[in-house]
Amino acid sequence: MRIIGLAGWSGSGKTTLLTKVIPRIVARGLTVSTIKHAHHSFDLDQPGKDSHSHRLAGATEVLVGSARRWAIVHELRGEAEPALTVLLRKASPVDLVVVEGYKAERHPKLEVYRSSNGKPLLHPEDPAIVAIASDVALANARVPVVDLNDVEGVIEIVLRHAAPVESLGATIGPAGQLARKSR
């Protein structure tokens, strides 16, 4: 299992780029999962649904399953937000995990930069950024730059720079689950 992230300011086009990249990587025969960081309280449940009522009643986890998908909603109930490595241990093994957000984590990242945002580049301050997908030329960039619309070029960077999850201090255990690497 390998990991890479997409990092950038809100409105830079990370999600739009991912929705173009994922199907093309899957078409190459690779399995892909994503982990998305939310900066706000979010809710997958809808008021009036049984699972929502279970959670509001105090259930720590609610698992909802059907013939098409299943999901677990876990309430932190005052616990600290889990680190990316903790969430990775909960994911099923795949060829590639693409992380959107988690800018402060140290996994390799492709910065998505859109000049119209008026925000500064992240890469000068983040040594984990391995390349930039940008809508403008960046002559002073210290990492490779690919055109934001060059989806195949982005895919090549993503696949070349994705790192084994072991590089984050996590390793895959015998049952396919991630386990904490002993130090």
pLDDT tens for 19-35 read: 999 999 999 999 999 99
pLDDT band at 177 (very low <50, low <70, confident <90, very high): very low
The mean pLDDT of the chain is 89
**pLDDT, tens digit, 9 for 90 and up, residues 87-123:** 998 899 999 999 998 888 999 999 999 999 999 999 9
pLDDT at 170: 55
Query: Does the structural domain 2-41+80-180 have CATH classification 3.40.50.300?
Result: yes
SS (H, E, C) the chain: CEEEEEECCCCCCHHHHHHHHHHHHHHCCCCEEEEECCCCCCCCCCCCCHHHHHHHCCCCEEEEECCCCEEEEECCCCCCCCCHHHHHHHCCCCCEEEEECCCCCCCCEEEEECHHHCCCCCCCCCCCEEEEEECCCCCCCCCCEEECCCHHHHHHHHHHHCEEHHHHCEEECCCCCEEECCC
Does 63 have pLDDT greater than 80? yes
Q: Domain ranges for the chain, please list them.
A: 2-41+80-180
pLDDT score, position 120: 94
